[in-house]
Structures are given as structure tokens and as C-alpha cells.
Structure 1
Amino acid sequence: METSIVGVGVGITDRFRTVVEDKTLRIENLAPRALRVDVKVTHRAYHNGRMEDDTVELTVTGKGPLVRAEATDADKFVALDQAVDRLCEQLRRAKEKRVDARQHPRGAKFAGGTLQGIDVEPVSADVLHAVATGEIPVITGAEEEQDYTPVVIRTKNFEPEWLTVEEAVDRMELVGHDFFLFIDARSDHPSVVYRRKGWDYGVISLTTPAAPQRAAS
């Protein structure tokens, strides 16, 4: 399996490269179809350098959906250990889920135009009101007061994917998130699956369908 290591604001030593190579053996054992693992180490300093940390991001690509995990610590070696542990746990959960699905088939079922087997509930009205009225502010970068601690809302844009609910749950498990945004392939509705407890998941869908999926050129 090919390994790529990139440092942002920090140098990558030979010792760190050696440790990464050793750690990737665990990943390779759990994901034998993986072709490449990208390791990104980002160093950040806060409050005029009085506080520093390193974030290690791992991205595994191969035959199938990508798998991602990250961790942050004052020591990049500790962050690496934590990120590898999280990535391996995600791979184990995905493997156990596949085995469980083969032995005990279950999942979302459609009957009479309704979705069964997955809890559907709207987003909290209190949260929508708080965002709309500014009670949950968006950080702009202009706040310089040392004690200013707003709720940070990060934004990310990406191309839509048409997936079934079951496929979206699998993607969520592999990237290690608590939710996953997608277009429901059965209804064309923008939807979000989210983690509840154990193997229980929920899905929230908009009532307005997305634009039809374009045929590959």
C-alpha cells in the first residue's frame, strides 16, 4: 500500500515516517483492498504561540469508498496513534456491519410509499430559530477579543451523490462522521442519515426533490 505524508507548518522527520509505516500495517490488515493512505499533519499555534497542537488526518483510498479519520494533540505522535485507532475502529465497524447484514438481513423497507425501519423526524425548530435570529453566530475572522468564543460553523461544499439510504449509512461509517448528506436514489430528495444508538440510524429528508441526476458523458 502506497503512503504519502505531507506536513503543513511542520517538518516531517524520518522517525515520524518510520512510525507511520509501522502504523499503516494495521490499516492494511483491516483493509486489504486499500491502495493508498494519505497522512496530513497540520501544526497550529494559538494566542501568539502560547498554545500549539498538531492535527493528523488519515485518508485511505482504494477499491471502494474512501475512509477518513483525524485526531488532534499537542504531540503529533499521540495524534497519529489516536487517528489510526479511530480509522481502524471505523473499518472494524464497517466489517461487522457487513457480516451482520449477511447473517441478519435488515434495513429500510418501502411499503405504500412510506419508509419503514428508519426513524424519520424533522430538525429541531429551536435550532432553526437560533440560526435564523443570530443566536448561533457564524465566525467571520474579524473577532479579535481574547475571550470571544462564538459557536463556530464551518462550511463545506461538495458534489451531490445519489445513494440509497443503506449506502449512505455505509459511507457515514467509513468516514467516521455522525451524519452523511446525500441525494436519496429512490426519491431524489436531499437527505441526511445520522447516528443514533448502536446500529440504529435516522434519516431526515427535504420534501422538494433535487435536480435529476445527469447521465455520464
Structure 2
Amino acid sequence: MRTTVAKLAAQLTLTAAGVFLLSGAAQAGNQKEEAMADSVRLALARAIADAAPPKPKFERIEDRIQYLNWLGEMSSRLKRRIPDYQTRIELLETIWYESRRAGLEPALVMGLMQVESGFRKYATSIVGARGYMQVMPFWSRVIGDGDPAKLFKMQANLRYGCSILRMYIDMEKGDLYLALGRYNGSRGKPEYPNAVLSNWKNWEYKPQS
């Protein structure tokens, strides 16, 4: 049965989240290089190849105001982790653009980034995963141009990470718990999905009425 986000939130455990939050090291698991259909590989390659810059455009002034309010609120929350204003704003603009482009909630992506890298651009895990979203180097060969160094670039890292997470959610038919486990290479184990879903709450934004 398809697990809903509401049910998952009720299953969160502080102990599981604590395992991930107390360590300063990058928390990526060993993402698996799985066999995938050519159509899936091609779709992913196209998804990460689009070089459109993360500059939002709005048809309604109300949407622009809401975006700017979100940007200001998230900047305030993220300031302790990323003191430099310009870097912080560029990261938030990229998170907003890439998460929405992939059909993901920005708060979910930020929760995942908090667990995976603590918002550290050059974080590297013991298994070699890189950057903000801890993308494994093999992805650059499977769906990219073969240059894993690009995974340390802000937009490239988020483009890969969001596209891969979207693929896993689709593969798991919307089951976020299993998709997160697959992203981390720990499918079926509760610690990682619980930690991400717990940290998701830190980045939720309620629009001003």
C-alpha cells in the first residue's frame, strides 16, 4: 500500500534522527548503480542537461511576493549554517528552482541536504558521494558528461540530486519512504528516511495570509 507523507511523519523517531544529526560527517549511504531502461537513462540525461539558469519568472505579482517572502524566511533560518549572504541567497534560489523543476517540495530537498551534507558544498562521504546532495560520482558517467568534478558545483549538484530523487519517487510509485531509502542506498531501513522527514519540518514555510 502506498505510504502517505502524513503517516510517515507519525512514524518519525528522534533516536533515528539523532544518529544523523549528531555527526558532522557527510551522511550519504552507498547509492547503488542500478540497471535501468534506456528510456529512463535518456530521460535523466535530458533532465540534467538543460542549462536554464535558476532565475524565477512570475506572471502574478502575488506569486513573486510569496517567493520573496520565502527567500527572506529561509535566508534567516540558514544564516547560522551559511553566514555569507550572497552564497546563501544563490543556494536558496537554486534550491527553489531545481526542486520545483523536479516536482519536489523545497522543504523536502532542504531536509535531505541537512542530513546528507549539513549544507556543505564540498562535503565528501566515506563512499565518495559529493556536494550538497551527496551525489555519487558514477552518476556523472551514467547520465552526464563523465566529469565528476562538476558535482561540486552548486547548480549541477542540485540538478543531479533533485532529478535522481524524482526518478526514485517515480520508481517507488510515490512511496517517499522507499524512495528516500533508495536515494541513500539503504532501502527498507528506517533511519535515513526518518531523519530526512524529521528535518523537512525545519524548512517548511507557511505563506503569509
Fold shared, TM-score > 0.5 on shorter chain = no
Higher helix share: 2
Q: TM-score scaled to structure 2, two decimals?
A: 0.30
Q: Which has the larger Rg? A: 1
Q: TM-score scaled to structure 1, two decimals?
A: 0.29
Structure with more contact order per residue of length (Cα contacts < 8 Å, sep ≥ 6): 2
